[in-house]
Amino acid sequence: MILPNWPVQDKVGALSTTRSGGASTGSFSSFNLGYHVGDERNEVVANHQYLRTYLPAQAIWLEQIHGDRVFVVNEKKPVTQWPQADALYTNARLQPLAIMTADCLPILLASKCGGEVAAVHGGWRPLAAGILANTLVQFKCDPDDIFAWLGPAIGPKAFEVGSEVVAQFCNLDSAHCSDFVEQNTGKYLADIFAIATRQLAELGVTKVYTDKLCTVSDSHRFFSYRRDGQTGRMASVIWRN
């Protein structure tokens, strides 16, 4: 497990899994948490059960759709199936929120007092669609009192995209143009950490913490869809203490 190093660790629980320590085999070796990737279901179930031992309660998961929808978790309204969305928000105590990634950027958010938390699936499509703005509007506290942690994702030397992706972000904000480096092939290398950090800053969140761990370059620790194609999924989870 990777634990965020940020100033709110005494107020919120948070972790990001690696690919190690689970029951899955082959391309999914070994701590795959994705039911939808072709792994043996009983092995994924075992991995979820193991993850549960680290959490105060059963996590709420998403059917991630690469859009801008945020699902608000209300302790008075039980969640009976995985919502279709790309971010989760709650102010309920001891309720873990989980998102899955295998190159996309996991973004965990917490208020300074620890009373509000969110987990965001920060793929380029959700980021371009405004998923961060839609998540932050759920917070009651001032944006300056929100802390962000950016987990493992495809790094700036590995994330090759086409000009249409560049255009989407540059049309949103011309400052995003500096988050892409053109290659001789006509493609661009994108820095998804910089994109998310820039968008958070524009929304008033400047306390951002990350080690910029690259999923593609570290095959020992991380699953990577871009690198391997058929592969497992990691989880990033956050909850109020």
CATH number assigned to the domain comprising residue 110: 3.60.140.10
Mean pLDDT value of segment 19-27: 96
pLDDT at residue 77, as a whole number: 73
Q: Which residue has the tokens 């993850």?
A: 51
Q: Give the rounded distance of the alpha carbon of 159 from its chain centre.
A: 16
Is 184 a domain residue? Answer: no
Domain assignment present for residue 230? The answer is yes
**pLDDT, tens digit, 9 for 90 and up, residues 133-153:** 999 999 999 999 999 999 999
Q: Give the chain's domain count.
A: 1
pLDDT band at 80 (very low <50, low <70, confident <90, very high): confident
Helix and strand numbers (H, E) in the chain are 6, 12
Given a contact cutoff of 8 angstroms between Cβ atoms, the answer to whether 153 and 104 are in contact is yes
pTM exceeds 0.95, yes or no? yes
**What pLDDT does residue 82 have?**
93
Domain-embedded: residue 164: no
- Whether residue 46 is contained in a domain is answered as yes
Convert the pLDDT of each residue in 177-192 to its tens digit: 999 999 999 999 999 9
Pairing mode of beta strands 160-161, 188-190: antiparallel
In the prediction, which pLDDT does 199 show?
98
Q: What is the extent of the structural domain holding 220?
A: 12-154+200-240
Query: Looking at the domain assignment, is residue 235 inside a domain?
Result: yes
